[in-house]
Amino acid sequence: MRASLLQISVNPGETVEERRERVAALVREQSAADLVVLPELWPTGAFAYDLFEEYAEPRNGPTFTALSAAAAGASVWLHGGSVVERLPDGTLYNTSLVIGPDGELRAAYRKIHRFGFDRGEAAMMGGGEAVVTVRLPETTAGLATCYDLRFPEQFRQLTDAGAEVFVLPAGWPARRREHWTLLSRARAVENQAYVLACCTAGTHGGVEQAGHSQIVDPWGEVLAEAGEGEEIITADLDLARVAKTRADFPVLRDRVLGVPGRVG
C-alpha cells in the first residue's frame, strides 16, 4: 500500500477557501498513491481558534464536498485530516473524515483528547467518545488526532480492535517537535504497527508548526520524514510486516494488565 502524506502549510496569508481549493487540487495529483493523508484542521489551522465558529461545517459541508470529488478524481483512499464539525445543536467537534476512492464517506472520528488545558480547543469543542477503525483494502487503520498521541491507551485499544496502521493527522507546535517525532515512533514500536503521522507546516494562531511528518514502520524505523516546510512524503507499506513483526517478537502476547483473565 503506497501512502502519501501531504504536509500542508497553513498560514493566515491564504484564505480558507483558497486553501481548500489548493489542497483539493494537490489530492487530485496523488493518483499514484493508494492512501493520501492530510493534517489536522488544515482548513483553518489547529491553533486559529478565532476561525473555528466561522468555518465550522456539517460533515457533508464544503470541505467534504471538495475532498470527496478529489478522492474520486484521483481514485484514492483519502484521510481528509480533520475539520471543525458543527452539529445542529451548535456543538463543535474536531472530526476526521475518511473517504473512499468512490468519494463516499467511509469513517468519521471525533478527536477524543482535546488540547488546551481548559482553553482553545478544549474549551470550544466537544470530545469524541469512541475509538474508530476503518477497513482499507489490505488492512485495518486506527484513527487518532494530534494530542491523542500522548495517550497510549487509545492506541492499544485500536490495536485490540485490529489496527495495523495508525493514521494521525496533527497540528503540532514546533516548540515540542521532539515529542512529536519521539511519540510517533513510540506508538509504532509498542504496538508493532505502522504510523502515518501528518502534521501542518507554517504558522497560524501565532503558533509555528512542527512539520516533520513521518511514516514509521512496525519496528520503529522511519521510512520517510518531511522537513519543516510544505512537502509530500511517500512510502510503500509492506503490510505483511505487521504480522511478521508481531510473530517474530511477540511482545503483545506477553501483556498482563488490562487483559481479561489476567491481572489488572
Contact residues for ligand LYUYDEPV, defined by CB under 6 A? 40, 46, 115, 146-147, 150, 171-173, 176, 179
Considering the complex, state which of residue 40 and residue 85 has its C-beta at the smaller distance from ligand LYUYDEPV.
40
Whether 198 is a known active-site residue: answer no
How far apart are the C-alpha atoms of 70 and 64, rounded to whole Å? 10
Considering the complex, state which of residue 203 and residue 234 has its C-beta at the smaller distance from ligand LYUYDEPV.
203
Nearest approach in angstroms of CB 52 to ligand LYUYDEPV is 12
Nearest approach in angstroms of CB 173 to ligand LYUYDEPV is 5
Whether 111 is a known active-site residue: answer yes
Considering the complex, state which of residue 121 and residue 217 has its C-beta at the smaller distance from ligand LYUYDEPV.
121
Pick the catalytic residue: 85, 111, 199, 231?
Answer: 111
Q: Are strands 132-135 and 105-110 parallel, antiparallel or unpaired?
A: unpaired
Nearest approach in angstroms of CB 140 to ligand LYUYDEPV is 24
Pick the catalytic residue: 40, 121, 164, 225?
Answer: 40
Q: Are strands 140-143 and 132-135 parallel, antiparallel or unpaired?
A: antiparallel
Considering the complex, state which of residue 127 and residue 250 has its C-beta at the smaller distance from ligand LYUYDEPV.
127
Q: Tell me how far CA of residue 88 lies from CA of 30, 57, 81, 134, 173, in angstroms.
A: 34, 10, 22, 26, 31
Residue whose grid cell is 493514521: 167
How far apart are the C-alpha atoms of 69 and 82, rounded to whole Å? 17
Pick the catalytic residue: 85, 121, 146, 230?
Answer: 146
How far apart are the C-alpha atoms of 264 and 251, rounded to whole Å? 18
How far apart are the C-alpha atoms of 57 and 83, rounded to whole Å? 8
Nearest approach in angstroms of CB 172 to ligand LYUYDEPV is 5
Sequence-separated (6 or more) residues with CB below 8 Å from residue 15: none
Whether 208 is a known active-site residue: answer no
Residue whose grid cell is 502549510: 9
Q: Which residues are catalytic?
A: 40, 111, 146
